[in-house]
Amino acid sequence: MENNILLGHGSGGKLTHTLIKDLFVKYFDNHILSQQTDSALLQTGSSNIAFTTDSYVVDPIFFPGGNIGKLAVCGTVNDLAVSGAIPKYISASFIIEEGFSLKELDIIVSSMAAEAKKAGVLIVTGDTKVVNKGQCDKLFINTAGIGILDANQLKISSGKCIMAGDKIIINGAIADHGMAIMASRNFGNFKSDIKSDCACLNHMIKEIIDAGCNVKFMRDATRGGIATILSELSENNEIGIEIDESKVPVNENVRGMCELLGFDPFYVANEGKIIIVASAVDAEKVVALMKKNEFGKESSIIGDIVDSHRGKAILKTGIGGSRIIDMLAGEQLPRIC
Amino acid sequence: MKYIDEFRDKVLVDQLLEKISSVTSKEIALMEVCGGHTWAIQKFGIPFLLPENIKLLSGPGCPVCVTSKKFIDQAVAYSRLKDVIITTYGDLIRVPGSTSSLNVEKSRGADVRIVYSVLDALQIAKENPSKRVVFLGIGFETTAPSSAAGIHNALKEKLTNFFVFSSHKIMPPAMAALIDEGVTINGYIAPGHVSVITGSHIYEGIPSKYGVGCVISGFEPVDILQSIYMLCKQIQENDYRVEIQYKRVVKPEGNVKAQEMMAEVFTLRDDWWRGLGTLKDSGLAIKEKYSNFDAEKMIPVEVEETKEEKGCICGEILKGLKKPNDCRLFAKVCTTSNPVGACMVSHEGACNAYFRFNK
């Protein structure tokens, strides 16, 4: 029945996966792409490089806690950092609607520069296209990013070294970004003080890696929320995951809005949250290090890798029940990033 | 969070589970009629916690699930009209019709907008005077009053481009029909939100006629478990009644103003329910007086012939006769991303809840 692209194809959930598998991978297939990691891992001579790309179409382009430009830099930096790489260079291409305010563009570009400086990356190339009014919505940004990857961290992207007993860690409260966007669209006439968690996490990640912690997997929990990542991780690596609902932090204002609108915070997008899988021995050390960083103050262990129910992520609910954590089907919120 | 955390308290949950286990060892089948309960029961993993003698059945209380395919086909036909904007609660747009869905029509250029309230639809009508705005009125006594209020407001504001396409239904005829059909139900976990509007009296016929108790329940784990306990106690004591567990919200007399609004705009008609067929006086049609706002009367449209999906057992699942995993399409052909039957679409649908949390 679906001969056309639906919004759900861009959700990061099941439809996106089907599209990638049945179309993009089918035609582009090669040994690097087929690894399907957040960043492509490339080898040039003796060094390893992580290479990523992303497009930003968030609506509205200004939201509490950031704007489309800051989001573009943070998203690209985080994609590289969770691969275990040190982000170095970024490209930035702008697709701009005719009539867009130069003043607003100035604010967006300057915030990109500020964020890049904070993250320690250089924006080294770019492109500009302007389209007729109505042919794009204000501004879309495409980026690419390159990072340098230590050979010891090559395993992180795939998570293939994960084993039963490992711990699952998160760096703070979930669902802030998605609900901040929702609130800023004035959805349901909400007034809220929810701010996006949009932030570059590369320094925090570097501190963990430099301390020699045995990190086995990292992923930023963007579209589809932590549920999609956990479900994907368990399925791709044939491992059992058990998450303790009561240990996953959700801010009260975000929780309230989710309850009212019927959203499950596990599926709501984040832009400054990572899931880390670390060895049981090092897990507490990782949490302690993260807590010292401004973006990891609420870090905690939220679950375990277990030997049972391989291929499935199970949530132990707050009341002691249990249920499966599945990937998002259909779209939850279009144009969230 | 206030009013939430107290009702998800593990200590209370454990105490209730202990009471449920000790009150009776009889084999008991309880049906939750409301889709909101189905969702909550699966979300919190309640079946995993209950003693083995207590079985929960999901009933026909998900509005999207019981809505006929013909309704979807007609909504699709409306969406294909150039000057029509469809406004709808979210889940409906993914429900497959005979050959299309609102989601697919949207991707082909139809103007289909998700709203959280009929008031949003009214606003869209005001902002688009050259368009006809059709609000898809689905749901039970919970959403029917707001559709009625929408029509009422449209009249007050002299809007001529706002229409409701009503598939609203009322709950009690379906609850009686299930027992009449021979489904074994020892007690009803009765819908909380419906009862906020209707009050508790609408269920009175069920204990008196069938000897089946009804407990009007809230939606948090403690609510649901307390309701299960109250039903088990009624069964053990052979004393079948309508009781309100959800007292913090439901009053015996209900919301009189909302009832009056419904009575002002709607009139009862026979209606078709997926799985149950046509039930007498179970649907809500817009009264003649308000026919200017009735999409069925004001927007003539040609609707394709309705084709039902082969192999889909949504009907039996809605009656609690079968579980989602009894269906040969379940999790194979029919998934949350590619639903065949309506029960897989809405997160209140039994198949969807079962697929997401148990598959």
Q: Name the more confident of B167 and B354.
A: B167
What is this model's ipTM? 0.78
Is residue A51 predicted with pLDDT exceeding 80?
Answer: yes
Summarised one tens digit per residue, pLDDT across range A83-100 is 999 999 999 999 999 999
Is residue B316 predicted with pLDDT exceeding 50?
Answer: yes
Look up residue B226 and give its two tokens: 């307390």
Summarised one tens digit per residue, pLDDT across range B209-241 is 999 999 999 999 999 999 999 999 999 999 999
The β-bridge partners of A85 are A149
Residue of chain B whose alpha carbon sits nearest to that of A313: B357
Structure confidence at residue A260 (pLDDT): 85
- CB A259 to CB B13 under 8 A? no
Q: Which of A6, A8, A318 sits opposite B10 (nearest CB)?
A: A318
Strand boundaries in chain A, DSSP class E: 40-44, 47-56, 62-63, 66-67, 85-97, 122-131, 139-149, 167-170, 215-220, 240-244, 274-278, 300-306, 313-316, 322-324
Summarised one tens digit per residue, pLDDT across range A161-220 is 999 999 999 999 999 999 999 899 876 667 789 999 999 999 999 999 999 999 999 999
Ranking A16-20, A265-269, A282-286, B146-150 by mean pLDDT, the lowest is: A16-20
Q: Which of A188, A320, A322 sits opposite B10 (nearest CB)?
A: A320
Structure confidence at residue B359 (pLDDT): 55
Q: Is the CB of residue A265 less than 8 Å away from at least one CB of chain B?
A: no
Q: Residue A130: pLDDT band by 50, 70, 90 thresholds?
A: very high
What does the DSSP 8-state code read for residue A20?
A: I
Structure confidence at residue A2 (pLDDT): 61
Is residue A329 predicted with pLDDT exceeding 80?
Answer: no
When the pLDDT of each residue in chain A is averaged and rounded to a whole number, the result is 93
> Region B172-179: what's the mean pLDDT?
90
> Region A267-294: what's the mean pLDDT?
97
> Region B123-138: what's the mean pLDDT?
97
The crossing angle, in degrees rounded to 10, of helices B221-237 and B10-23 is 20
> What is the distance between the alpha carbons of residues A154 and A50, in angstroms, rounded to a whole number?
10
Burial A152-173 (b: 16+ CB within 10 A, else e): ebbebbbbeebeeebbbbbbbb
Q: Which of A1, A318, A319 sits opposite B100 (nearest CB)?
A: A1
Structure confidence at residue B338 (pLDDT): 73
Burial A40-59 (b: 16+ CB within 10 A, else e): bbeeeeeebbbbbebebbbb
Summarised one tens digit per residue, pLDDT across range A101-123 is 999 999 999 999 999 999 999 99
- CB B337 to CB A321 under 8 A? no
Structure confidence at residue A187 (pLDDT): 66
Domains in chain A, ordered, with CATH?
37-153 (3.30.1330.10), 167-324 (3.90.650.10)
> What is the distance between the alpha carbons of residues B154 and B123, in angstroms, rounded to a whole number?
10
| Cβ pair B272, B74 in contact under 8 A | no
**A113: Cβ contacts below 8 Å, ≥ 6 apart:** A123
Structure confidence at residue B342 (pLDDT): 73
CB pairs under 8 A between A and B: 91
- CB A1 to CB B49 under 8 A? no
Tokens 């390159």, residue located: A146
Preferred mutation among B102, B357, B359 to probe A, highest tally of A CBs within 10 A: B357
Give this prediction's pTM: 0.86
Is residue B188 predicted with pLDDT exceeding 80?
Answer: yes
Q: Is the CB of residue A255 less than 8 Å away from at least one CB of chain B?
A: yes
Structure confidence at residue B80 (pLDDT): 97
Structure confidence at residue A4 (pLDDT): 86
Q: Residue A330: pLDDT band by 50, 70, 90 thresholds?
A: low
Please give the single-letter amino acid code of residue B31. Answer: M
Cis previous bond, A60, omega within 30: yes
> Region B90-107: what's the mean pLDDT?
89
Q: Name the more confident of A323 and A126.
A: A126
Chain B contacts to A (CB-CB under 8 A): 1, 4, 8-10, 13-14, 42-49, 94, 96, 99-101, 103-104, 106-108, 116-117, 221, 335-337, 347, 355-359
Q: Residue A1: pLDDT band by 50, 70, 90 thresholds?
A: very low
Structure confidence at residue A98 (pLDDT): 97
Domains in chain B, ordered, with CATH?
66-170+254-298 (3.40.50.11740)
